Structure 1
């Protein structure tokens, strides 16, 4: 990277301001954060650079908003926070971003000296190391050149490697030090390549010859625009397919060869055992994808992933292909015939899906019908952000999304409080398009204060709040473990009145028709609408 001394001369500004100008030159138009006495210099140049700043009510919310923004755009999100507790408050959200492969750049201030001084405001033992526990990397910039290098390193890695959050911290005094602007964007940053899979002719022949080939499509393909390619491969191979939760929407809802998002059903093992070739693309096949340790296949397993760590995991693929999933499918498709007859029994697949849905409904009664009603009233381009709640656990399986990359859930790390701030970030990125939050009564209260941000921004954001008055999933788990339910019921507020106190709208529909009407009104409102849903809505 060219040093700032070799770059064309520009306006001298404090480094904090130069970082904002640099981000703007790299395409950043929105930053989420909270100013504090230790990062005020980071705020000096935001408006001058032409960047929009979204004020969160808590640093965790700011990082979740950056996550939601990144998922909505397919790019990356940026948040600004202060030293010590400010950064620590983001770590839950950054951990979620790491678990779900989301590109977030967290930039914080840090104290100038910690080894020889004690008792400073926001002081902690090792701030840089704390962030390193949940980020791809965490580094301190000790000069302007180092800060510029780290920003460009993060953005380059976002574009070329598996998405992960990064943290960069800058000493307070350095943020206020006048310096030259950042150098021009490194050449080629906007023209990155993809890991190509090489010759796939033999695999294509094996796929064509297979009697019951099966694909598993994961979140690595879960971006809107990849559906056509995935569906073309299905049509040309005659294979059946599952998606992981993160890959929902890749398969057509009416595809007779689609098993949908039911990979986590225990009896999907039986289906996998019937396949004579399994090809998993862009998925970790993690515990949170399968809810078991073994995939269940008895045949050849092909793994395709951009992350080499995935290719050497406990599933022990017979063929491991280190490649971008889209590049793999494009190359594979070129070797396949124009079409192939379906190789699985469509009636069997339909019957299996119906049984899976019935199991889901039996475990958490009534929610599946509620999902059907909401799906029928939802715009096709709606993007949904859900929280850790029984409603979402059902919906992730039974709700056939028409588009990929339009349902975001805190899989893996499993953070409560994700949905509302992430949906705000998504709504900021998707101005004019439908964005929805789904939360449970308990998890919603983790980040309920971010309602203030949604009201402040005037976001037409429907907030579907599932209120069963308890930690029902935990209660069910205790009962299943023969433990008397304990600490699973908490005093809830009047959520509608609370939303109105923030300046939001609220509705409490008493029927499915009223629920659909409330959702339609919420999309047209001048601010967020809390739609209060209770189990009474699911009563037959």
Structure 2
């Protein structure tokens, strides 16, 4: 049965497992809204396309499924490009579908016209293509879904001319399993296993690429068998069990962590590219042999030592590394030394940004098990990423690579939509909250039990500190803030401004029970 292509796209997405779409309708993309309800898909109306993109990001991180957003031509696409860039840097599966003008070469001055909309989007995503027929749209949608499952997940953009969206189209083809079976070099996995077993000071670095529950058993077997010291990237927190006494934690960015790697006689990295935002230095610090397991060949890191590179998903590789291995490894790491160094790093973190560590400890003690946390570019999160150990992977999400302000609130909304009935929390700074504060209305509208921890130090404190270090007189780092509690209440949300750590804990407990979002306003005075 034929329907306008805009409606058929929603039906095809539903057939491919899409249950939620985030977006904003407009005159150029209204045909895409014709089939949403008929297909049985929930639509979440954002207040700004940037919010829609961050919601799709948060939903994708919470579920592992692609987050889908519908936006209009021109400004709608431009507004969502920041979330697309964030999703690209953090390997998040996001599918953005936009309308586009039918003709731009011969006609000028049209509503929402851009010189090259498709090319603009391509700068912040994996690929950006235009579907000029229904068949092309279906093929591109299936291509995107296949690549989300089989490659490093990154955002894709498909634009469809308005006339094509309005035209009648046949039903989309049924889904077909096209997933290839990856081949893994057995000799390479055997070599890694042998070198791990023989090493006296092996280190394994786990990244966000292995932050899925399905890898837990393989990782635990590897740790038990070879007893390496471990680090995680910020995105990899929770991968290593909290009780594992040889875990140096998410402290790669501590300058003295390079001394630990200098001591290593074998290094294995899994699911990480060791980006600038992981290390904040040029080199890991090792001088030994090392091996890398990564799904993206472009992210294999060059450096000293004979390298074994395996391009594959880490779960199966780790399982093969442990298979058939008998006997204990030769690792000689001291649990006492690891604990002492971690304590020193914790003190360094507290000294650099005073007063935040006790608040992190207080929050960690009261958030429910299985809480999924979304944080923003704020000093509070920078401290928490180092001192807040996670007891499970994939439950703390942050705008790591692109570093976008305003991420946490809408991303947490997307996560809460995905996890109805499960605890979700946002942590955001006063300045970042300004960027996407309007999305608080969405959380109210949906009745999401969402605590939003708003850290207000009254300024862009991280930038001020950086200016001081650079011997620049601090400039343009203070903005007048509103009464955030009254603002939240104007949206219909709850609000509270605790004055002590016990009051903060009580407020967080209550917020998880509320039938709507609660803004919890805290300042540095909380620990003074």
Shorter-normalised TM-score: what interval?
A: over 0.9
1:323-338 paired onto structure 2 within 5 Å: 323-337=312-326
Deviations 1:437-469 (A, max 9, x none): 000000111000000101000000000011100
**1:123 aligned to 105, 113, 118, which one?**
113
Residue 311 (structure 2) aligns with: 322
For residues 440 and 109 of structure 1, the distance between their equivalents in structure 2, rounded to whole angstroms, comes to 34
> How far has the Cα of 1:270 moved from its partner?
0.3
Per the alignment, in what secondary structure is the counterpart of residue 521 of structure 2?
Answer: strand
Residue aligned with 2:478, SS? coil
Answer yes or no: is the 8 Å Cα contact 1:132–1:138 preserved in 2.
Answer: yes
Provide the rounded CA distance (Å) in 1 between the counterparts of 2:35 and 2:137. Answer: 15
Equivalent in 527, 533, 536 of residue 525 of structure 2: 536
Determine the structure 1 residue equivalent to 2:159: 169
Q: Which deviations, in whole Å up to 9, do the C-alpha atoms of 1:490-528 show, x marking residues without a partner? A: 100000000000000001111111111111111110100
Aligned length, in residue pairs: 527
1:475 corresponds to which of 459, 464, 479: 464
Secondary structure, aligned partner of 1:294? coil
User: Structure 1 residues 330, 386: CA separation in 2 closer, same or farther (over 3 Å shift)?
Assistant: same
The more displaced of 306-315 and 264-273 is 306-315
Q: Structure 2 residue aligned with 1:254, among 224, 239, 243? A: 243
Give the C-alpha shift of residue 254 in structure 1. 2.3
CA distance in 2, matches of 1:108, 1:178: 18
CA offset digits 1:137-176 (Å, max 9, x no partner): 0000000000000000000000000011000000001101
How far apart, in 1, do the equivalents of 2:219 and 2:513 lie?
34
More off after superposition, 215-224 vs 143-152: 215-224
Q: Give the drift of 1:196.
A: 2.8
SS at match of 2:67: strand
Matched residue, 1:144: 134
Measure how far apart 1:192 and its partner are.
Answer: 5.3
| Distance apart, 1:384 and its partner CA | 0.4
User: Counterpart of 1:465 in 2: which secondary structure?
Assistant: strand
Question: Is the contact made by 1:194 and 1:327 (CA closer than 8 Å) also made in structure 2?
Answer: no
Q: Distance in 1 between matches of 2:282 and 2:253?
A: 11
Query: Structure 2: how far apart are the matches of 1:57 and 1:335?
Result: 55
- Relative to structure 1, the CA distance from residue 476 to residue 243 in structure 2 (aligned partners, 3 Å threshold; closer, same or farther) is same
Please give the alpha-carbon distance, in whole angstroms, between the structure 2 residues aligned to 1:192 and 1:425: 30
- Structure 1 residues without counterparts, runs of 5 or longer: 1-10
The alignment status of 1:157 with 2:180, answered yes or no, reads: no
Q: Does 1:196 pair with 2:184?
A: yes
1:114 to 104, 108, 113: 104
Distance in 1 separating the partners of 2:306 and 2:124? 28
- Select 1:510's aligned residue among 490, 495, 499: 499
Q: Spell out the pairing of 1:424-439 with structure 2 (5 A cutoff).
A: 424-439=413-428
* Alpha-carbon distance between aligned partners in 2 of 1:308 and 1:202, rounded to the nearest angstrom: 19
* C-alpha contact (below 8 Å) 2:287/2:305 kept by paired residues: no
Report the equivalent of 2:203: 214
Classify the secondary structure of the residue corresponding to 1:292.
Answer: coil
The structure 2 residue matched to 1:80, chosen from 50, 67, 70, is 70
Do the aligned partners of residues 343 and 78 (structure 1) sit closer, same or farther apart at CA in structure 2, a change above 3 Å counting?
A: same
TM-score, length-scaled by structure 1:
0.96
Displacement of 1:231: 2.3
Alpha-carbon offset, residue 179 of structure 1: 1.1
Q: Which runs of 4+ in 1 moved over 4 A?
A: 312-317, 338-342
SS in 2 for 1:351: helix
Matches of 1:207 and 1:314 in 2, distance apart? 19
Aligned with residue 404 of structure 1, among 393, 407, 414:
393
SS at match of 2:300: helix
Question: What are structure 2's unaligned runs of at least 5 residues?
Answer: none
2:373 is the counterpart of 1:381: no
Provide the C-alpha distance between the structure 2 equivalents of 1:25 and 1:315, rounded to a whole number of angstroms.
Answer: 48
> Cα distance, 1:342 vs. partner?
5.6
Alignment of 1:301-312 (within 5 A): 301-311=290-300
Q: For residues 317 and 423 of structure 1, do their structure 2 counterparts lie closer, same or farther at Cα, with a shift above 3 Å needed?
A: farther
In structure 1, distance between residues paired with 2:145 and 2:119:
21
CA distance in 1, matches of 2:79, 2:186: 44
| TM-score normalised according to structure 2 size | 0.98
- Aligned residue in 2 for 1:181: 171
* Inter-partner Cα distance in structure 2 for 1:411 and 1:316: 28
The CA deviation at 1:359 is 0.8
Residues 334-373 of structure 1 aligned to structure 2 (within 5 Å): 334-337=323-326, 340=329, 343-373=332-362
Q: Deviations over 1:340-361 (max 9, x none)?
A: 5763011110011011111111
Contact kept, 8 Å, 1:195 with 1:322, in 2: the verdict is no
User: Counterpart of 1:155 in 2: which secondary structure?
Assistant: helix
CA–CA separation in structure 1 for the residues paired with 2:79 and 2:412: 19
The counterpart of 1:234, out of the listed 210, 223, 238, is 223
Deviation at residue 206 of structure 1 after TM alignment? 1.4
After superposition, the Cα gap between the structure-2 partners of 1:221 and 1:471, relative to the gap in structure 1 and judged at 3 Å, is same
User: How many Å separate the matches in 2 of 1:324 and 1:52?
Assistant: 31
CA RMSD in angstroms comes to 1.3
